[in-house]
């Protein structure tokens, strides 16, 4: 049966995929792949899908592990905070839902929140050596990346803060990290296919951003109305 937790995990995973497809991440995938592997884009294009496939895979996996550690830690912290404020859980859920809807309206372009457009990211001038260096770059990515994915990530964290246990928050952010990380690894290993895909999708970036905004609005409404249980019940009836 499709329970509330499964619906929540699907939404978190989908949010990760949309974060990957955001204008702040998708166009920069080749740059990150070359940075973490130490190989030029031309070399990756000519050799990457043969001679350097395993190397690229493990560097990408290490990078994803790095930002996943940060996101999952944030999920655990959000859940812990929610437990501390358990007596105000209903108020926390409704305020969180309203904030997520506002994020969605900003993403879809209906309103303009200036501080969410400020470009901020942490950078390392030189990459530390080896796979550990790729993990560190992932940690930097997770800790200081642009607010472009901030509204999506914050929405999942706000929902995690309403979770009954810390394990639930960790699971939600694990699903989000997988949604962001799996497409990254696939794109890195198949860089030529990614470049062809990107050329075809770049014209639809605005639509993807609007879709992200709509998803956030839906998540916000679901959080505010505490409707995930109703959705899981509906899907169970539909599947039956």
pTM, rounded to two decimals: 0.76
Sequence spans of domains, the chain = 4-235
Answer whether residue 182 shows pLDDT above 80: yes
> Region 106-128: what's the mean pLDDT?
60
Region of 46 please: left (phi>0), alpha (psi -120 to 50) or beta.
alpha
Nearest to 12 by CA among 238, 163, 204, 165: 163
Pick the range with the lowest mean pLDDT from 25-29, 84-88, 162-166. Answer: 84-88
17 within 8 A of 180, measured Cβ to Cβ: yes
Predicted confidence band of residue 231 (pLDDT cuts 50, 70, 90) = low
| Structure-block tokens of residue 56 | 């690229």
Q: What is the average pLDDT score of the chain?
A: 76
């Amino acid at each position: 049966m499709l329970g509330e937790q499964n619906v929540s995990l699907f939404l978190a995973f989908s949010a990760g995929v949309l974060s990957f497809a955001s204008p702040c991440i998708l166009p920069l995938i080749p740059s990150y792949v070359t940075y973490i592997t130490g190989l030029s884009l031309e070399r990756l294009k000519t050799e990457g899908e043969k001679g350097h496939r395993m190397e690229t895979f493990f560097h990408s996996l290490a990078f994803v592990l790095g930002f996943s550690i940060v996101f999952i830690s944030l999920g655990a912290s959000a859940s812990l905070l929610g437990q501390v404020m358990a007596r105000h859980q209903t108020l926390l859920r409704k305020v969180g839902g309203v904030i997520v809807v506002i994020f969605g309206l900003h993403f879809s372009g209906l309103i303009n929140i200036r501080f969410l457009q400020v470009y901020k990211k942490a950078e390392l001038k030189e990459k530390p050596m080896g796979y550990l260096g790729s993990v560190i770059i992932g940690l930097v990515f997770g800790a200081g990346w642009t607010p472009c994915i901030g509204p999506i990530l914050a929405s999942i964290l706000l929902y995690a803060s309403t979770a009954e246990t810390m394990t639930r928050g960790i699971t939600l952010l694990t699903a989000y990290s997988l949604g962001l990380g799996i497409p990254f690894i696939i794109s890195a290993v198949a860089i030529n296919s990614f470049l062809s895909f990107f050329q075809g999708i770049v014209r639809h970036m605005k639509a993807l951003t609007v879709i992200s905004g709509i998803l956030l609005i839906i998540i916000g409404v679901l959080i505010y109305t505490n409707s995930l249980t109703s959705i899981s019940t509906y899907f169970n009836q539909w599947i039956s």
